Amino acid sequence: MSDQPFALLIAGPTASGKSALALGLAEHFGGTVINADSMQVYAGLRVLTAQPSAAEMACLPHRLYGVRDPAEAASVAWWREQALAEMEAARAAGRLPILCGGTGLYFRSLTEGLTEIPPIPPEAREEARGLLAAEGPAALHARLAAADPASAARLRPSDSQRLARAWEVWRGTGRGMDFWHKEGGTGPARLGERPWRFAAIRLDPPRDALRDAIRLRWAAMLRAGAEAEVRALLARGLDPALPAMRAHGVPELGAVQRGAIGLEEAGRRACLAIGQYTKRQATWYRHHALAAPSLTHTIHARIAGLEQFSESEGAEIFSFVRSGVDGSETDD
């Protein structure tokens, strides 16, 4: 058995069933489920971001769900620090850390490390937010392409948060994000002197199964109080550029509350946006390895719970996780 600390990663697109799989495996292996989704960190958005229910969280330890005020943007660096602390706490308690979510950059920050960037002056950050608010993301992307084409090429013109970050880094350091990425950074996650070992389960269900799941989830969210969550969030008058204000369903239900569209149209728009997002997630996971091929198990189905698997399929999943827990997996 390896004396290196081990953690399991469960990744995949929105509505693929990651949480159900994580819950089942945590019950079987004595795990602590640690959130690795950039929207589920925010408080007050339990329904809209599909955070675990109160009953599920009472069943076994869940960490980093609903812990961040929506007024404060959560960075990858912040999440990595919090996740490492929770992983070490789980390890000390004799539990298996199971990191579950859909944010690929969060997983990558653990397995590959983070780029270290010098502190950004407040005026550079304010300029980036001001340009984004005044001109919109497409115009900011055009500005970035002229000033820092290498960094701009890595970003979508609609990715407002990362565009603002890239602009503030260029303005604040005189170097672009592409430069700092090439400089290196923190390196893979470690526990003391020992690097963590990771194995990953990646969910990659068929598109039609995801589309159906997204529609069903949206209807369930409305029944569970999604409109009230959005009403409370909008009442705070937060900056619309904040990540929580752009969570799926917030813009659409906000438009309903302003009387701009009806609830049916909001659902159509939200489900379309979520579906497009899941395509980008799936593409990202296909092009970025979370672990070595021999340490990644891919499931081409949507998960409703471990009970849906046949005896042989369940045994295969348990064997895969057990090999990681025991340190018997091999890297091809």
Report whether pLDDT(193) > 90: no
Residue 312 assigned as binding residue = no
- Assigned token pair, 247: 């969570």
Q: pLDDT (tens digit, 9 = 90+) per residue, 22-75? A: 999 999 999 999 999 999 999 999 999 999 999 999 999 999 999 999 999 998
**The pTM is what?**
0.81
Pairwise CA distance, residues 245 & 311, whole Å = 43
Residue 103 assigned as binding residue = no
Residue 182 assigned as binding residue = no
Rounded mean pLDDT of the chain?
91
Pairwise CA distance, residues 310 & 323, whole Å = 20
Q: Of 90 and 188, which is predicted with more confidence?
A: 90
The domain made up of 122-183 has a fold known as: Histone, subunit A (1.10.20)
Residue 12 assigned as binding residue = yes
Residue 15 assigned as binding residue = yes
Residue 24 assigned as binding residue = no
pLDDT band at 181 (very low <50, low <70, confident <90, very high): low
CB atoms within 10 A of CB 123: 11
Pairwise CA distance, residues 91 & 66, whole Å = 22
Q: Where are the domains of the chain?
A: 6-114+186-326, 122-183
Pairwise CA distance, residues 218 & 224, whole Å = 10
What percent of the chain shows pLDDT beyond 70?
A: 95
pLDDT band at 329 (very low <50, low <70, confident <90, very high): low
Residue 247 assigned as binding residue = no
Residue 14 assigned as binding residue = yes
CATH number of 6-114+186-326: 3.40.50.300
What is the length of the chain? 332
User: Please, what is the end-to-end C-alpha distance for the chain in angstroms?
Assistant: 18
Q: Do 122-183 and 6-114+186-326 have the same topology in CATH?
A: no
The pLDDT assigned to 180 comes to 74
Q: pLDDT (tens digit, 9 = 90+) per residue, 195-245? A: 899 999 999 999 999 999 999 999 999 999 999 999 999 999 999 989 999
The pLDDT assigned to 183 comes to 61
